Amino acid sequence: MNTSSQRIYLDNAATSYPKPPGVAEAVTDYMVNNGAAFGRGSYRDGEIASEIVTQCRQQVARLLSAQAREIAFTFNCTDSLNLLLRGLLQPNDRVVTSRLEHNSVLRPLNQLQQELTLDVDYLSFDVSSGLIDPDAFRQSLAARPTRLVVLNHASNVTGVIQPVQEVIEHAHAAGALVLLDAAQTTGHHEICLSELKADFLAAAGHKGMLGPLGTGIVYVRSGREELLSPIRCGGTGTQSESPQQPRDLPGLFESGNMNMPGLVGLHAALQWLQSQDRPLLAKNLASCAALLRSRLQDLPGVQLLTDGMQPNTGIVSFTIDGVDSREAATILDSSFGVQCRAGFHCAPLVHQHLTTAESGGSLRMSPGVFTTEDEIVAAVVAIEQLCDAFSIS
Ligand SMILES: Cc1ncc(COP(=O)(O)O)c(C=O)c1O
Residues 149, 271: one domain?
A: yes
Residues 287, 364: one domain?
A: yes
User: In angstroms, rounded to a whole number, what is the distance separating the alpha carbons of residues 315 and 163?
Assistant: 17
Query: Which pLDDT score, from 0 to 100, does residue 2 have?
Result: 59
User: In angstroms, rounded to a whole number, what is the distance separating the alpha carbons of residues 103 and 270?
Assistant: 27
Q: Which of 16, 78, 99, 105 to mutate to test the pocket of ligand 1 (most atoms within 8 A of CB)?
A: 78
Residues 228, 102: one domain?
A: yes
Q: Domain boundary at 240, 275, 310, which? A: 275
**Rounded (10°) angle between helices 23-33 and 260-275:** 150
Residue with the smallest CA separation from ligand 1 atom 15 is: 183
14 domain residue, yes or no: no
User: In angstroms, rounded to a whole number, what is the distance separating the alpha carbons of residues 42 and 266?
Assistant: 23
Query: Which pLDDT score, from 0 to 100, does residue 239 have?
Result: 85
Evaluate whether 210 touches 83 at the Cβ level (below 8 Å): no
* CB distance 76 to ligand 1 below 6 Å: yes
Q: What is the mean pLDDT of the chain?
A: 94
* CB distance 158 to ligand 1 below 6 Å: no
* CB distance 96 to ligand 1 below 6 Å: no
Q: Domain boundary at 215, 244, 275, which? A: 275
Query: Which pLDDT score, from 0 to 100, does residue 310 have?
Result: 77
Give me ligand 1 centre to Cα 15, in Å.
Answer: 9
Residues 155, 256: one domain?
A: yes
In the sheet with 94-98, reading across from the earlier edge strand, the strands are 71-74, 216-220, 200-204, 177-181, 148-152, 94-98, 119-123
Give me ligand 1 centre to Cα 340, in Å.
Answer: 16
Residue with the smallest CA separation from ligand 1 atom 12 is: 183
* CB distance 364 to ligand 1 below 6 Å: no
**113 against 188, higher pLDDT:** 113
CA angle at 4 for the pair 379 and 382, rounded to the nearest 5°: 25
Least confident stretch, 12-26, 133-147, 235-249: 235-249
CATH of the domain at 369: 3.90.1150.10
CATH of the domain at 201: 3.40.640.10
State which of 31-45, 274-288, 293-307 shows the largest mean pLDDT. 274-288
User: In angstroms, rounded to a whole number, what is the distance separating the alpha carbons of residues 124 and 352?
Assistant: 11
* CB distance 77 to ligand 1 below 6 Å: yes
* CB distance 366 to ligand 1 below 6 Å: no
Report how far apart, in Å, the C-alpha atoms of 343 and of each of 213, 244, 303, 318 are: 22, 44, 15, 11
**44 against 42, higher pLDDT:** 44
Q: How far is CA 326 from the centre of its chain?
A: 22
Domain boundaries, position 52: 23-275
Least confident stretch, 2-6, 233-237, 242-246, 350-354: 2-6
pLDDT in tens, 92-129: 999 999 999 999 999 999 999 999 999 999 999 999 89
Report how far apart, in Å, the C-alpha atoms of 260 and of each of 27, 49, 269, 330, 387 are: 9, 8, 14, 34, 45
Residue with the smallest CA separation from ligand 1 atom 13 is: 14
Residue with the smallest CA separation from ligand 1 atom 8 is: 77
Least confident stretch, 40-54, 300-314, 327-341: 300-314
* CB distance 152 to ligand 1 below 6 Å: yes
**306 against 203, higher pLDDT:** 203
Residues 120, 250: one domain?
A: yes
Query: Which pLDDT score, from 0 to 100, does residue 311 have?
Result: 76
Q: Which of 344, 346, 364 to mutate to test the pocket of ligand 1 (most atoms within 8 A of CB)?
A: 346
* CB distance 306 to ligand 1 below 6 Å: no
Query: Does pLDDT of 1 surpass 60?
Result: no
41 domain residue, yes or no: yes
* CB distance 162 to ligand 1 below 6 Å: no
18 domain residue, yes or no: no
Give me ligand 1 centre to Cα 74, in Å.
Answer: 13
User: In angstroms, rounded to a whole number, what is the distance separating the alpha carbons of residues 165 and 148?
Assistant: 16
* CB distance 184 to ligand 1 below 6 Å: yes
* CB distance 202 to ligand 1 below 6 Å: no
* CB distance 313 to ligand 1 below 6 Å: no
Average pLDDT over residues 264-291: 96
Q: Domain boundary at 243, 275, 307, which? A: 275
Give the DSSP letter of residue 125: B
pLDDT in tens, 345-379: 999 898 888 888 887 899 999 999 999 999 999 99
Query: Does pLDDT of 306 surpass 80?
Result: no
Residues 271, 289: one domain?
A: no
User: In angstroms, rounded to a whole number, what is the distance separating the alpha carbons of residues 78 and 216?
Assistant: 8
Query: Does pLDDT of 26 surpass 90?
Result: yes
pLDDT in tens, 126-175: 998 999 999 999 999 999 999 999 999 999 999 999 999 999 999 999 99
Give me ligand 1 centre to Cα 328, in Å.
Answer: 23
* CB distance 150 to ligand 1 below 6 Å: no
Query: Which pLDDT score, from 0 to 100, does residue 3 have?
Result: 66
Residue with the smallest CA separation from ligand 1 atom 16 is: 156
358 domain residue, yes or no: yes
* CB distance 101 to ligand 1 below 6 Å: no
* CB distance 215 to ligand 1 below 6 Å: no
357 domain residue, yes or no: yes
Number of domains within the chain: 2
Query: Which pLDDT score, from 0 to 100, does residue 393 have?
Result: 67
* CB distance 204 to ligand 1 below 6 Å: yes
